[in-house]
Structure 1
Amino acid sequence: MSILASKGVRSVALFALVTALASCTLPRSGPNKNEIYSGSVLKQGDAFVVTVNDRVTRATSVTPALGFSAAFKNAGLLGSDTIRSGDVLGVSVWENTDVPILGAPQVATILEEIQVDGQGFIFVPYAGRIKADGNTPEQLRNIITRKLDQQTPDPQVSVRRLAGDGSTVSIVGGVGAQGVYPIERPTRTLSAMLARASGVTIEPEIAQITVTRNGLKDRIWLQDLYENPEMDIALRGGDKILVEKDNRAFTALGAMGTQSRVTFESQTVSAIEALALVGGLNSNLADPKGIFIFRNEPQEISNVVLGRNDLQGDQRFIYVIDLTAPNGMFQARDFAIRENDTVYVTEAPYVRLQKTLGAIIGPVADLAVLDGAF
């Protein structure tokens, strides 16, 4: 009876074990290849599964194009002595008369700290409201002289610029010295003003410069600014300059060294570089044939990749790279990762088998111990 009872216990336990394994899913890092392929449009899914090749690589290699529009590039350099709204001026007037209208005979009348208003005008007694914005001090001197000449004979006028808040730009972000800087002769262009702010402190490969002017906003890579002289735009008073790190990122999941959201470390990141950024493939888990890139492709690229012209709107794509293929490493090197991509590596088939066997062998060993107790 003892032996029969022992066999009965083993049978019941094994049956329960097999039933439990059949009704549950073993722990894993994500879907396997078959489950991913089941999401293809060919199997009533909603994603296009595409194997990466040279044609696909060319069609999908899109690097963000940054640069300044004509509205920024066509703006000429400001004259170093051009008066702008916000500037503060000093005006001196000498009158050639015994009965001066502004002051004592043969003594200069000094009008200090006349600020150019928001519309570009100043007020001078007996000359009235005068447009100062856009003129040089010499041009403004001539205008004031003509106005006063109608009131007093042969007036002598001097106009000088004082310290003020006129033609200035603000610089914030990744520079050595954030602040508000005047546009002066040495700092009339973007690159010169960045140098005036003690330079950019972000890695040049990922530094972006954004300039905001009169409601317009354009952005450029720092490297492109120095490599393309036409992008070194002339500045205008009120410009806002932001220096920041490229904030694009992709997500890495699956059988890799780590799983995380990864920021770009250069303007372009290839699939092989993306794997390297997270520590490469996990040699104990990863299937080198199962490198998947999940992405929403815009309509234009979707039609080119699939050789169609009927797709409308963004489409879901799953790109597949097999590192074991003859040119697999080259394909991974050339395929460009884009912002918000998800890079996923499946587990090798033997890993699932290993987990299954481990789930069975462990309980069986326990049963053997249990059996020895009867």
Structure 2
Amino acid sequence: MKTSSKTLISLFMPILLAGCSVPGSYLTVQEGEKDPALETSSTDIISKINLYQLTASEIDNFKTPEVIAKVNPQLDKEITEYEYFVGSGDILNITVWDHPELTIPAGSYRSASESGNWVHADGRIFYPYIGFVEVAGKTTSQIRSDMTSKLSKFIESPQVDVSVAAFQSKKAYMTGAVNTPGQQFISNVPLTLLDAINQAGGLVGEADWRNVSLTRNGTEEILSLFNLMQKGDLTQNRLLQAGDIIHVPRDDNQKVFVMGEVNDPKLLKIDRSGMSLTEALSNVGGINQVAADATGVFVIRTSLDNSKVADVYQLDVSNSIAFILGTEFELQPKDIVYVTAAPIVQWNRIIGQILPSITGFDELSQGVDTIRGW
């Protein structure tokens, strides 16, 4: 992040400085004034970015798609067909009706798990008359059928009941920003991602619920609890399996950097409901009415296009109605919001603002909440 962010700033800042040669930057130099920045061609730099105008006719192209409630037929099918397979470490409760000598009573001082049949590491249990029985990897119905068949050689028409007294062989793991992280045993009741979150006591206040990771067999999948819990998108839910790891990250990386001619430049944290461009500008006290160029409000974002370094979005707020457009533009983590200076401001003033931004960027990335004194 540090390297790419430095590169992004160093590539974009000359564009801001060389405003007379870059459409949309609206930065000019007073007549008779010279500056070395104008002598550096920005053609190569321009080719490395995508520049977009946030206008009324174009804003819909940049809006975050609306999340709608969805059903999850695949999950419904998995839950309907779900069966629990016994494994090593489980404890079985086996009852043979009318044959109390074969049934270990639980009693008032022993639980069903304490009086049950432990599944050994080799996947077997020992039972009177029939000896060792393979049970690992089988359902209780299959075990019941096997034991009935074996016991019928010694008992006429045996009535056998098999249940799991303690589920201990299969676990999922919950880590990160939940109230009670730790292992959760998988039982004969299907355990979904949403169930696991609830059993862990829910999310802590600093949780990033939009980027929850589910790791299964070495493959990571990113899921959004915001879409699931807030918007009802059930396609974000999953039926958990043994060995799954669910990690809820903290929101430490959910930050944007607001720089330039604003009243209180600082690092902002995106809350659970997200943050729009207008919200970010409001949180720093708005743009500086004296020094800012209202036509030059930029959002700088790392580009997903491998051939580009950054996507740059420009909003002209010289008309206050444009702030409405800003409410429709959702910021993403590590976006840089930069407000350019007005033409009357000297170039050394602008350079004096930018250099501390570049040198202090490492500190911003490490969590410094506010950078002042620009």
What TM-score results when the alignment is normalised by the length of structure 2?
Answer: 0.63
* Matches of 1:156 and 1:324, distance apart in 2: 84
By percentage of residues, which structure has more strand? Answer: 1
1:135 is displaced (CA, Å) by 0.5
Structure 1: which 5+ residue stretches go unaligned? 1-29, 97-105, 300-311, 357-374
Q: How many residues align?
A: 302
**In 2, Cα distance between the equivalents of 1:117 and 1:268?**
49
Paired residues of 2:97 and 2:159 also in contact (CA < 8 A): yes
1:237 aligns with 2:249: no
* Structure 1 residue matching 2:79: 3-state secondary structure: coil
Matching of residues 153-302 of structure 1 within 5 Å: 153-154=155-156, 157=160, 159-184=162-187, 188-202=191-205, 206=209, 208-226=211-229, 227-246=232-251, 247-266=253-272, 268-299=274-305
The answer for unaligned runs of 5 or more in structure 2 is: 1-12, 25-40, 105-114, 351-374
From 310, 332, 354, the counterpart of 1:316? 310
Task: Tell me, yes or no, if the aligned pair for 2:297 and 2:337 is still in contact at 8 Å.
Answer: yes
The answer to whether the Cα contact below 8 Å between 1:82 and 1:135 also exists between their aligned partners in 2 is: yes
* Cα distance between partner residues in 1 of 2:226 and 2:211: 9
**For residues 138-162 of structure 1, what are the alpha-carbon distances to aligned partners after superposition, in whole Å with 9 as ceiling and x for unaligned?**
4412212313445x35466554433
Identity %: 23
Structure 2 residue aligned with 1:52, among 37, 46, 54? 54
SS at match of 1:162: strand
Q: Distance in 1 between matches of 2:138 and 2:227?
A: 31
Is the partner of 1:281 in helix, strand or coil? coil
Letter of the 1:133 partner, please give it. G
User: Structure 1 residues 285 and 86 mapped into 2: Cα distance closer, same or farther (>3 Å)?
Assistant: farther
1:114 alignment partner in structure 2: 118
Q: Cα–Cα, structure 1 residues 69 and 83, in superposed 2: closer, same or farther, change >3 Å?
A: same
CA contact (8 A) 2:208 2:249 kept: no
CA RMSD of aligned residues (A): 4.3
Relative distance call for 1:298 and 1:197 in structure 2 (3 A) is closer
**Partner residue in 1 for 2:137:** 133
Among candidates 344, 347, 350, match of residue 350 of structure 1: 344
Q: Distance in 2 between matches of 1:189 and 1:248?
A: 26
Give the C-alpha shift of residue 187 in structure 1. 6.8
Give the distance between the partners of 1:76 and 1:123, measured in 2 at CA: 29
| 1:213-236, Cα deviation, whole Å (9 max, x unpaired) | 333433332232231345443333
Report the alpha carbon displacement of residue 37 of structure 1 after superposing the two structures with TM.
5.6
Cα deviation 1:18-63 (Å, max 9, x = unaligned)? xxxxxxxxxxxx7694525646799523224443223442333346
What is aligned with 1:309? none
**2:333 aligned partner:** 339
Checking the alignment, whether the CA contact within 8 Å between 1:46 and 1:316 is kept in structure 2 is no
SS in 1 for 2:215: strand
Higher helix proportion (structure 1 or 2): 1
Letter matched to residue 331 of structure 2: I
Name the CA shift for 1:71/1:211 in 2 (closer, same or farther; >3 Å). farther
Partners of 2:349 and 2:205 in 1: CA distance: 46
Partners of 1:160 and 1:215 lie apart in 2 by 32
Evaluate the alpha carbon distance shift between residue 32 and residue 296 of structure 1 in structure 2; reply closer, same or farther with a 3 A threshold.
Answer: closer
Distance 2:85 2:42 in 1: 69
Q: Which secondary structure state, in structure 1, belongs to the residue aligned with residue 344 of structure 2?
A: helix
- Structure 1 residues 270-304: Cα deviation after superposition (integer angstroms, max 9, x where no partner): 221222233322345322222122234334xxxxx
Q: CA deviation at 1:112?
A: 5.0
CA distance in 1 between counterparts of 2:90 and 2:307 reads 51
- Paired AA for residue 242 in structure 1: H
Q: Could you say which residue in structure 1 is the equivalent of 2:18?
A: 35
Distance 1:70 1:201, change over 3 A: same
